[in-house]
Amino acid sequence: MVNGIKLDSSLSNYAVFGNPVKHSKSPQIHSLFAKQKGIELNYQAIEVHVEQFSECVRSFAHQKGKGLNITVPFKENAFSLCDTLTERAKVCGSVNTIWFDEKNHIYGDTTDGKGLINDLTVNNGLDLNNKSILVLGAGGSVRAILEPLCEQKPNQIVIANRTVSRAEELVKKFSNQGNIIACSYDDLSNLSYSRHPFNIIINGTSLSLNGKLPMIPKSTIDNGTCCYDLMYSDTETIFMKWALAQGAAKVMDGLGMLVEQAAESFMIWHGVMPDTKSVIQSLRSVKREA
């Protein structure tokens, strides 16, 4: 037994692997989905030691576990471990959903990008077509959302990142999918190369986690701008507060994305799509009561 993983073989077992993972809402989300659909399952959050990720996935499969969600810091490890990847996982270089066949062959997909697009377009009613989008950050989550964002045919995507070379790498990789530009935060003051203010700003940095803001100029935002923080929290994130103070038209956090990416995983594992709106509402009402 690796990392203390011991599954009850009388149940259909699912889990999220991460480190840390105690805060994860995935067990709650998947339990609510399963209840809706009358499916019995056991979904746990398992904290995996950083050096034991591969062994833990194999142990889970060996004990007839059915499916795994993968979160920080293991999405790239999961990508390397899978025997078969979906096209979108290959493009992103990251995996957040795993399943197995009877020979314990490991399959991987990424549902983060689809989750964001569903939340922006379906839950929040935004039309991304022909819009100018500013994406802050160039880490794993930004890599996962770029292709689905491009599929919405925005007019332009500007990626601003502290380490500009990382943004430039993403532009190189995705430039065949749309009009994408890389720059520094300071460069954003130069209005000549992009349509300002932006229609949509997506904060894909991890700064909100530490209560910090990306240092972007006020010229990027006005009262027509919609702002989305990939991070979610029980209260408005610092980025949402900043956007509201600048008069943004709408601010959103990443809770909807979290539920939508989970729904895509649920669909992969169970072949049915759960209702996400009621689950988002339920999680938000727990937040309000807290």
For ligand NDP, which stretch binds (CB under 6 A), given 33-41, 50-58, 228-236, 281-289? 228-236
Q: Under the criterion CB under 6 A, does residue 148 sit at the interface with ligand NDP? A: no
Residue number closest to ligand NDP, CB atom: 139
For ligand NDP, which stretch binds (CB under 6 A), given 14-22, 123-131, 132-140, 265-273? 132-140
C-alpha radius of gyration, the chain, whole number: 19
Query: Residue 28 and residue 46: Cα distance in Å, rounded?
Result: 14
What is the smallest separation between the CB atom of 19 and ligand NDP, expressed in angstroms? 13
At 275, list the tokens: 């209702």
Q: Under the criterion CB under 6 A, does residue 141 sit at the interface with ligand NDP? A: yes
Is 75 among the catalytic positions? yes
Cβ atoms within 10 A of the Cβ of 33, count? Answer: 27
Would you say 66 and 91 are in contact if contact means Cβ atoms under 8 Å apart? no
Query: Residue 185 and residue 214: Cα distance in Å, rounded?
Result: 8
- Sites for ligand NDP among residues 88-107 (CB under 6 A): none
Query: Residue 1 and residue 3: Cα distance in Å, rounded?
Result: 7
Report the residue from 106, 183, 216, 231 that binds ligand NDP according to the rule CB under 6 A.
231
Q: Under the criterion CB under 6 A, does residue 65 sit at the interface with ligand NDP? A: no
# residues contacting ligand NDP (CB under 6 A): 26
Can you give the length of the chain in residues? 290
Report the residue from 232, 242, 266, 269 that binds ligand NDP according to the rule CB under 6 A.
232
Which residues in 115-223 belong to E strands, given as ranges? 132-136, 156-160, 180-183, 200-203
Which of 6, 25, 35, 75 is an active site residue?
A: 75
First to last CA, the chain: 37
Q: Which residues contact ligand NDP by CB under 6 A? A: 72, 112, 115, 137-142, 161-163, 166, 204-209, 230-232, 254, 257-258, 261
Positions annotated as catalytic residues are: 75
